[in-house]
Amino acid sequence: MSNHVEYVRDGDVATLTMNWPGAVNLMDADFIPSFKAALDKLEADRDSIKGALLRSAKTTFFAGGDLKMFMAARKEQTQELFEMIEGIKAQLRRIEKLGKPVVAVIEGAALGGGFEVALACHHRVVLDHPKIQLGLPEVTLGLLPGGGGVTRMVRHLGVQAAGPYLLEGKLMRPAELAKLGLAELAPDSEAATRQALAWIDAHPAPVQPWDVKGHRIPGGKAYSPQLAQVQTVAPAMLLAKTKGTMPAPAAVLGCAVEGAAVDFDTALRIESRYLTYLALHQVSRNMIGTLFTGLNEIKGGAARPKGVPPFKVQKLGILGAGMMGAGIAYSAATKGIEVVLLDTAQERAEKGKAYSEGLLDKGMKRGKVTEERKAETLGRIKPTTSYDDLEGCDLIIEAVFEDPDIKADVTKKAEPRLRPGGLFSSNTSTIPITDLARSSAHPERFIGLHFFSPVDKMPLLEIIKGKETGPEAVAQALDFAAQIGKTPIVVSDARGFYTSRVFGQYVNEGAAMLAEGIPAAVIENAALQAGMPVGPLAVLDEVTLTLPLHVEASAKKAGAAPAERHPGMAVLERMVELGRSGRAGGQGFYDYPEGQPKRLWSGLKDLYPQQRRGEYDVQELRDRFLYAQAVDAAHVADQGVLTEARELNIGSIMGLGFPVWTGGAYQFIEQTGREQFVARARELAAKHGPRFEPPARLSAAPGADLSGGMYSGLPR
């Protein structure tokens, strides 16, 4: 096995350079033997050197742990996995106990295991570059920093101060790391080397603080009076946030508190046991498979048609300066794109630009935006009422009202202004792109770009192919998504596409429960307990209750309405008749008293007489929310609207708010087991209606031919 840590002596200073061939530096199977070989040489030279530098030959310092290794582990390998984790820590302890200074020179990102390697060094010098990220994001993938990250951060900062970096996976820029006292900044590589050598000269025999007798953890030990309140409140706060669906944050807290009560080496073993538990947990596998593997495949361009030249938008036209158009304008302008923001009245166009100004002002208050950047960004947005200003656009996005006639009118007026080979798109959330493309002179260059509100915060972009949309248009749309930092999923044309269609199942199910007499508070809390970020009634209020009714009316007009009407629709009709159309109208399922938090409308109890506790099953309510969406997502896949599991999963999490712990709608089916999923879905169908009936092919026996849909060739 080749050694990936090069050892070189230059006089009385050694340099260990991490350089994994053809890959990022990683805590993989080569980590222990590579570090062991380098440290063997370092220890052999200990008496003849002043110290050592640890640096990287890559643009990144160290990428972290090998998640594929965790995904490949099985429960029968528990002891083996634990010993491997302990073996990694043993090498890092050798650095700490060398007796000579070892300084990490960090010139690129150091995340996860990479940051843990740096923490094991006696000192850190980091390039002061705003794009360098540092920290421990493991909890966001269902894991914890098990290479000593929890233990060392607690001993550096204390249980409470380390919390955001451990429990939330908060990342840092170099300046923040320096402010915490964990590194010094350097302006460039040469200066970093000089500063590191100077530190070695000034600290000939360093000892880590926790290896000094009498070391005290900042903020007090785990069971000190100072931390009593934290230990009492923190678990309750975690439960309120995760609803018990995410094991990693609880494990991180337990690891931090328990580790702070014992000596350093015992704390490291506790940390290894917690990581072993999480690494083999289904939730971490769900999250890694989707939010790491699947997401990286999407960002890596897995769906991009081959052979299409790169496409870059320099001038963007946006038709409609409402909330969506204004949000798209901001997202593009902040990435250096010139934007023409067009509306029927100059006042509305100016208001759309003002939306960007408001966001930039908030950024300035937080210290993240300079006056210069604000001026440059706003200078890129031109509010107008003239279609002539669209001349030469690389891309035009139509974001007007969801009316096919209005959309057809603006398409015919704007499309001729595109530069030759330019792309035209619609931001529709429900109307088939094939229908809208009939107004286009070039349907092969017409595509759907469905953004999510608020555009500046929502990461997903749903790209919809019409029947005549060409591969070049798909590639161009994917390039634009990457240009503005959005995560794209590519779907085939259908009414509601993927996200809007499945989203409707979630909110309608909540409305249907209300009609059954389930108390509104129970409905909202059952959804939260399932892992949904917001209850269905609250969501309906935000989007307005008239929207699903409008979508239904449009589907009926086009002859595309479902055979059986969802029972929740009658509830929406009744609410709208009562003048309670949602938050924008001042009242919906919730009341919105001025200056006070919103609260559920008390009149719901009279409108729909409530069942008493014990007459409903909360677990079944949770199942209904999850299965209503997962079953419909399976139908979407069965009908070929989506053909990749990764996009089905990413789209459900980022577009629908499907619970993160599941890994997405498709992974929810797989982790449940197809047979068990189908059996439970049919139980729900028997009780609540055919909307829960899964596709026939999903229930095929194992080994049956599932070709022709996304179920073919996917991991079981």
What is the C-alpha to C-alpha distance for residues 528 and 507, in angstroms, rounded to an integer? Answer: 13
DSSP for 618-647, please give it.
HHHHHHHHHHHHHHHHHHHHHTTS---HHH
pLDDT of residue 712: 40
Residue 129 pLDDT class (50, 70, 90 cuts): very high
Tokens 């530069």, residue? 419
Q: Where are the alpha helices (DSSP H) in 121-243?
A: 149-157, 159-167, 174-179, 189-202, 225-242
Tell me, what DSSP letter sits at residue 402? S
Residue 209 pLDDT class (50, 70, 90 cuts): very high
Gyration radius from the chain CA atoms: 28
What is the residue-averaged pLDDT of the chain?
92
State yes or no: pLDDT of 707 exceeds 60. no
**Shared-domain flag, residues 270 and 364:** no
The answer to whether 290 touches 649, Cβ cutoff 8 Å, is yes
In a domain, 298, yes or no: no
Tell me, what DSSP letter sits at residue 587? B
Q: What is the pTM of this model?
A: 0.90
SS in 3 state form for 524-570?
HHHHHHHCCCCCHHHHHHHHCCHHHHHHHHHHHHCCCCCCCCCCHHH
What is the C-alpha to C-alpha distance for residues 55 and 17, in angstroms, rounded to an integer? Answer: 5
pLDDT of residue 86: 96
493, 521, 548 - which closes a domain: 493
Read off the pLDDT of residues 330-362 as tens digits, 9 standing for 90 and up: 999 999 999 999 999 999 999 999 999 999 999
Q: Quick one: which of 464, 465, 422 has its CA closest to 442?
A: 422
**Shared-domain flag, residues 143 and 264:** yes
**Strand ranges, E, within 225-305:** none
What is the C-alpha to C-alpha distance for residues 321 and 340, in angstroms, rounded to an integer? Answer: 10
Q: Where are the alpha helices (DSSP H) in 75-128?
A: 78-96, 113-120
In a domain, 166, yes or no: yes
Amino acid occupying residue 663: G
- Which two structure tokens, joined as six digits, stand for 562? 């479902």
Mean pLDDT calculated for residue range 193-203: 98
The answer to whether 108 touches 25, Cβ cutoff 8 Å, is no
Domain that holds residue 567: 500-699
Amino acid occupying residue 532: M
CA distances from 211 to 104, 161, 193, 206, 217 (A): 19, 21, 27, 10, 12
DSSP for 153-170, please give it.
HHHHH-HHHHHHHHHS--
**Shared-domain flag, residues 261 and 365:** no
In a domain, 293, yes or no: no
pLDDT of residue 226: 65
Residue 699 vs residue 287, higher pLDDT: 287
**Shared-domain flag, residues 387 and 336:** yes
Read off the pLDDT of residues 551-586 as tens digits, 9 standing for 90 and up: 888 778 777 777 789 999 999 999 999 999 999 999
**Shared-domain flag, residues 35 and 13:** yes
**Shared-domain flag, residues 461 and 335:** yes
CB-CB neighbours of 50 under 10 Å = 15
Read off the pLDDT of residues 624-656 as tens digits, 9 standing for 90 and up: 999 999 999 999 999 899 888 999 999 999 999
Please work out, in degrees rounded to the nearest 5, the angle formed at the alpha carbon of residue 220 by the alpha carbons of 218 and 221. Answer: 115
446, 478, 493 - which closes a domain: 493
**Shared-domain flag, residues 450 and 534:** no
Of all residues in the chain, the percent with pLDDT exceeding 70 is: 96
Element (H, E) at 70: helix 67-72
Q: What is the CATH number of the domain that holds 13?
A: 3.90.226.10
**Shared-domain flag, residues 483 and 511:** no
Read off the pLDDT of residues 21-66 as tens digits, 9 standing for 90 and up: 988 999 998 999 999 999 999 999 999 999 999 999 999 999 888 8
In a domain, 444, yes or no: yes
Q: What is the CATH number of the domain that holds 375?
A: 3.40.50.720
Amino acid occupying residue 330: Y
State yes or no: pLDDT of 367 exceeds 80. yes
Q: Quick one: which of 638, 641, 645, 636 has its CA closest to 713?
A: 645
Q: Which residues contact 1 (CB under 8 A, 6 or more apart)?
A: 30, 33
CA distances from 434 to 336, 412, 428 (A): 31, 15, 12
SS3 for 449? Answer: strand
SS3 for 19? Answer: coil
- Which two structure tokens, joined as six digits, stand for 24? 């990022």
pLDDT of residue 715: 35
In a domain, 391, yes or no: yes
**Shared-domain flag, residues 74 and 164:** yes
What is the C-alpha to C-alpha distance for residues 184 and 195, in angstroms, rounded to an integer? Answer: 9
pLDDT of residue 552: 84
In a domain, 710, yes or no: no
**Shared-domain flag, residues 365 and 476:** yes
What is the C-alpha to C-alpha distance for residues 572 and 300, in angstroms, rounded to an integer? Answer: 42
Mean pLDDT calculated for residue range 657-673: 95
Of all residues in the chain, the percent with pLDDT exceeding 90 is: 82
**Shared-domain flag, residues 552 and 671:** yes
**Shared-domain flag, residues 56 and 198:** yes
What is the C-alpha to C-alpha distance for residues 422 and 294, in angstroms, rounded to an integer? Answer: 30
pLDDT of residue 333: 97
Q: Into how many domains does the chain fold?
A: 3
- Which two structure tokens, joined as six digits, stand for 548? 């699903």
Residue 229 pLDDT class (50, 70, 90 cuts): low
In a domain, 340, yes or no: yes
In a domain, 706, yes or no: no
Q: What is the CATH number of the domain that holds 672?
A: 1.10.1040.50
The answer to whether 76 touches 36, Cβ cutoff 8 Å, is no
